[in-house]
């Protein structure tokens, strides 16, 4: 079963609001319950904390086609802002995170894996991609180090 989900237009509109208008700090995407479409699950509010974003990923759940609820994979885009250690100012990098916890259900993980490229192709301007399989992979320090290639203060 290698069904690929389509990308809902709302995903692209939300992403453009993040990228062009800085309306959001992050967007979390999920597969619809029928696994046919990638949709927006949540966006950041006024002043999001990274910990809130991380918590949403860690607590995400998916249903299998049989209706069983299990830990769920997600896609996310986070506008990572950091200060350069060299003192040359701030940088922003739009970061794509493919969250697929090791203990998520096999079926959701397979469908998320096969649908990831469709979403990435629809979102122009992603600077960095992180494949995250456990909670350490989405710790702020780990994300910052990957995104900044070690140049963050």
Read off the pLDDT of residues 9-58 as tens digits, 9 standing for 90 and up: 999 999 999 999 999 999 999 999 888 999 999 999 766 689 999 999 99
Question: What is the helix (H) or strand (E) element at residue 21, kind and residue range?
Answer: helix 9-21
- pLDDT above 70: percentage of residues in the chain: 96
Q: What span, in angstroms and rounded, lies between the C-alpha atoms of 7 and 26?
A: 17
Q: And the tokens for 95?
A: 């970061």
Name the band, by pLDDT with cuts 50, 70 and 90, for residue 132: very high
Domain ranges within the chain, ordered by starting residue: 6-148
- Identify the DSSP state of 151: -
Write down the pTM of the prediction: 0.93
Burial class, 126, CB count within 10 angstroms (exposed 0-12 / middle 13-18 / buried 19+): middle
CA dist 93 to 33, 70, 108, Å? 31, 31, 28
Q: Specify the CATH number of the domain 6-148.
A: 3.40.20.10
Name the band, by pLDDT with cuts 50, 70 and 90, for residue 112: very high
């Amino acid at each position: 079963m290698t069904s690929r989900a389509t990308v809902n237009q709302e995903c692209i509109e939300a992403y453009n609001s993040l990228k062009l208008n800085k309306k959001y700090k992050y967007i979390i995407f999920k597969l619809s319950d029928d696994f046919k479409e990638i949709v927006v699950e949540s966006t950041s509010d006024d002043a999001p904390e990274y910990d809130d974003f991380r918590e949403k990923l860690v607590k995400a759940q998916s249903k299998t086609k049989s209706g069983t609820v299990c830990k769920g994979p997600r896609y996310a885009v986070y506008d990572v802002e950091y200060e350069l250690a060299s003192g040359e100012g701030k940088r922003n990098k739009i970061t794509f995170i493919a969250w697929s916890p090791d203990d998520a259900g096999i079926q959701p993980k397979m469908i998320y894996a096969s649908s990831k490229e469709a979403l990435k192709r629809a979102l122009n301007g992603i600077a960095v991609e992180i494949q995250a399989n456990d909670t350490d992979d989405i710790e702020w320090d780990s994300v910052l180090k990957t995104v900044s290639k070690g140049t963050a203060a």
